[in-house]
Amino acid sequence: MSLGIRTGMPLVIVCMWLLMAVLGPFLPLTPDYIELSRILDTPSLTSWLGYDDLGRPLLDRVIAGARFSFYVSILVVSVSVIVGTLIGALSAYIGGRLDHVIVRIIDIFLAFPGILLAIALAGLLGPGLSNVVIALSIVGWVGFARLARAQVLTLKYREHVQAAIVLGAGTSRIILRHLLPLIAAPLIIEATFAIAGIVIAEAGLSFLGLGIQPPTPSWGSMIRDGTRYMLVSPHMVLVPGVALMLVVLAVNMLGDRLRDWLDVKG
């Protein structure tokens, strides 16, 4: 019961984020519509979240920004999970020189702070939604590869795996049928926390001008635009900033609850 109560509010926030992402394109939103008479209007009964420095409704822009943060996080985590898990599992199961090379590659990636490496890659690739996904995916697979490798190393000598080898099962079948199901729980937990990290990373790249480009709304670029008016219109920073904080906090809390439920030891 206590687990359900503690999970309630984070789940509501994540569901609202999901609904904004999925239903946003079908709602009568005007995130780029400019009303000069409403420039820097503060939140009120007629404008729930106020307007920005160009007279655009912040409510519409927050909802539109939720769509891009959701899609980027899901795409990046999906690519990272698939690529990282397969690389890590193959490395651990085959071993030898392949494992040695992959471990060295992982160490090289881990030697750099992830966000700095993502900034460098995004700068090389150029701004844009697809380049953000590519840059964050190149950085994101490493954590899943390291986790999958560690898990497979502890499982590949178990009786059922050795029995499958004796019966003539191939490497791909052993990994897909006998190893991946056993390491799914920690990978799911890692993916949950990775979603929160990608949301922050996407906002950070957009804040620096390396992510989604104007006039397309992004929470990071909205915060950047609002920093110039913090003293006169703090709602321009608070609105996207609070939305970003709530989503990241809710995803992290759900990850904690999911880890407790699956009883995965960190």
Where do the domains of the chain lie, and which CATH numbers do they carry? 73-262 (1.10.3720.10)
The stretches of the chain forming alpha helices (DSSP H) are 2-23, 58-94, 96-110, 114-125, 129-155, 159-166, 171-173, 180-207, 219-226, 235-262
Structure tokens of 139?
């950085």
Distance between CA atoms of 52 and 174, rounded to whole angstroms?
56
pLDDT at 14 over 80: yes
In Å, how far are 35, 81, 94, 95, 193 from 98, measured between CA atoms? 60, 20, 7, 6, 29
Q: How confident is the model at residue 1 (pLDDT cuts 50, 70, 90)?
A: very low
**What percentage of the chain carries pLDDT values higher than 90?**
45
Measured in residues, the chain has a length of 266
pLDDT surpasses 60 at 182: yes
Cβ atoms within 10 Å of 145's Cβ, excluding its own: 26
Mean pLDDT in the chain? 87
Residue 146, pLDDT score: 92
Is residue 237 within 8 Å of 255, Cβ to Cβ? no
pLDDT, tens only, 52-82: 999 999 999 999 999 999 999 999 999 999 9
Mean pLDDT, range 25-49, rounded to an integer: 87
* R_g of the chain computed on alpha carbons: 22
Average pLDDT over residues 208-216: 86
- Higher pLDDT: 17 or 161? It is 17
pLDDT at 2: 47
* pLDDT tens profile 133-175: 999 999 999 999 999 999 988 888 888 777 877 877 777 888 7
Question: How much is the pTM?
Answer: 0.87
Asked whether 155 and 238 are in contact (CB, 8 A), the reply is no
Query: What is the per-residue pLDDT across 226-251, written as a single tens digit (0 to 9) for each?
Result: 999 988 999 999 999 999 999 999 99
176 pLDDT band, cuts 50/70/90, is confident
Give the model's confidence band at 255: pLDDT under 50 very low, under 70 low, under 90 confident, else very high.
confident
Q: What is residue 265's predicted lDDT score, i.e. its pLDDT?
A: 53
- pLDDT(27) > 80: yes
Checking if the pLDDT of 111 tops 80, the result is yes
Tell me what pLDDT residue 204 has: 92
What six digits make up the tokens of 69?
Answer: 């943060």
pLDDT band of residue 6 (cuts 50, 70, 90) is low
CA torsion sign for 187, 259, 140, 79 is positive
Nearest-angstrom CA–CA distance, 6 and 265: 20
Bridge partners of 51, per DSSP, are 57
Answer whether 36's CB lies under 8 Å from 55's CB: yes
